[in-house]
């Protein structure tokens, strides 16, 4: 088997059944979207596919291991050192870290994978994932007395007490304007509009207006 196919089988077995929005199907959607964007932007497909497949193997919210398991996996595949370094650099700098924290990607491949991951936090799927995450962490759906916070540091974002509706303002609605590539920007537009419509209806129903 080729390195990418081997990696696909490995990650599938590791992430199957995860219930916080980081399940195998999230990774698969990010992979497929990243390939689609990479093809229209002319990015290196091997780098993009490996980074997309490994990007949530060790999420900071659930593990202290950082990128060590992804590093070990890539080293065992006996890929060129540059490929390993490039993929690890992408997965360690990809995540959203708060409204006021910049997370610039150095290479086209990094920009593509970051866009694909962010698109999966938007639209209908994004709405489903964010409520699944909120439920898994025991966070309220909404509390009119607890407004959103524009976090200025990763620590504040990570440790802040919030609600799932606030998360739309703290992250999801900020993503469309932060897309790196024109191909992703186009897709982000429709997904953003759908989330705005959802929030409007949510607010009307909350106030018994609809």
Interface residues with ligand ADP (CB under 6 A) are 21-22, 56, 59, 61, 95-96, 117, 121, 126, 129-130, 133-134, 139, 162, 164, 167, 171-172
In the structure encoding, which two tokens stand for residue 183, read together? Answer: 């191909």
In the bound state with ligand ADP, the residue whose beta carbon lies nearer, of 50 and 172, is 172
Sequence-ordered list of residues with C-beta below 8 angstroms from that of 51, at least 6 positions apart, any chain: 34, 86, 87, 90, 91, 94, 109, 110, 113
In the bound state with Ni ion, the residue whose beta carbon lies nearer, of 54 and 195, is 54
Q: How far is it, in rounded angstroms, from Cα 198 to Cα 122?
A: 12
Residue recorded with tokens 């694909």 = 116
Rounded to the nearest whole angstrom, what is the least distance from the CB of residue 25 to Ni ion in the complex? 11
Rounded to the nearest whole angstrom, what is the least distance from the CB of residue 87 to Ni ion in the complex? 15
Residue nearest to ligand ADP (CB): 133
The helix (H) or strand (E) run that includes residue 120 is none
Stretch that binds Ni ion, among 34-42, 61-69, 83-91, 114-122 (CB under 5 A): 114-122
70 binds, among ligand ADP, Ni ion, none (CB under 5 to 8 A by kind): none
Interface mask toward Ni ion for 51-70; x: CB under 5 A: -----x--------------
Q: How far is it, in rounded angstroms, from Cα 16 to Cα 3?
A: 20
**Which position among 117, 119, 157, 164 is part of the footprint of Ni ion (CB under 5 A)?**
117
b/e map 169-192, b = 16+ CB within 10 Å: bbbbbbbbeebbbebbeebbeebb
In the bound state with ligand ADP, the residue whose beta carbon lies nearer, of 29 and 36, is 29
Rounded to the nearest whole angstrom, what is the least distance from the CB of residue 68 to Ni ion in the complex? 18
Stretch that binds Ni ion, among 42-50, 72-80, 115-123, 201-209 (CB under 5 A): 115-123
- Residue 48: which of 138, 147, 114, 134 has the closest Cα? 114
């Amino acid at each position: 088997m080729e390195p990418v196919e081997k990696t696909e089988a490995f990650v599938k077995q590791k992430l199957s059944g995860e219930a916080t929005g980081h399940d195998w199907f999230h990774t698969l959607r990010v992979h497929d979207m990243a390939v689609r964007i990479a093809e229209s932007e002319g990015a290196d497909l091997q780098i993009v596919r490996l980074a997309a497949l490994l990007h949530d193997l060790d999420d900071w919210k659930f593990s202290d291991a950082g990128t060590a398991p992804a590093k070990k996996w890539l080293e065992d595949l006996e890929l060129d050192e540059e490929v390993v370094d490039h993929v690890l650099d992408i997965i360690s700098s990809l995540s959203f870290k708060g409204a006021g924290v910049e997370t610039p990607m150095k290479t086209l491949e990094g920009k593509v994978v970051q866009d694909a991951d962010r698109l999966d936090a938007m639209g209908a799927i994004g709405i489903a994932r964010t409520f699944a995450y909120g439920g898994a962490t025991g966070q309220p759906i909404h509390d009119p007395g607890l407004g959103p916070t524009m976090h200025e540091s990763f620590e504040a974002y990570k440790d802040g007490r919030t609600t799932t509706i606030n998360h739309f303002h703290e992250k999801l609605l900020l993503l469309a304007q932060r897309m790196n590539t024109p191909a992703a920007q186009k897709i982000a537009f429709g997904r953003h509009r759908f989330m705005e419509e959802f929030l409007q209806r949510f607010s009307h129903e909350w106030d018994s207006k609809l």
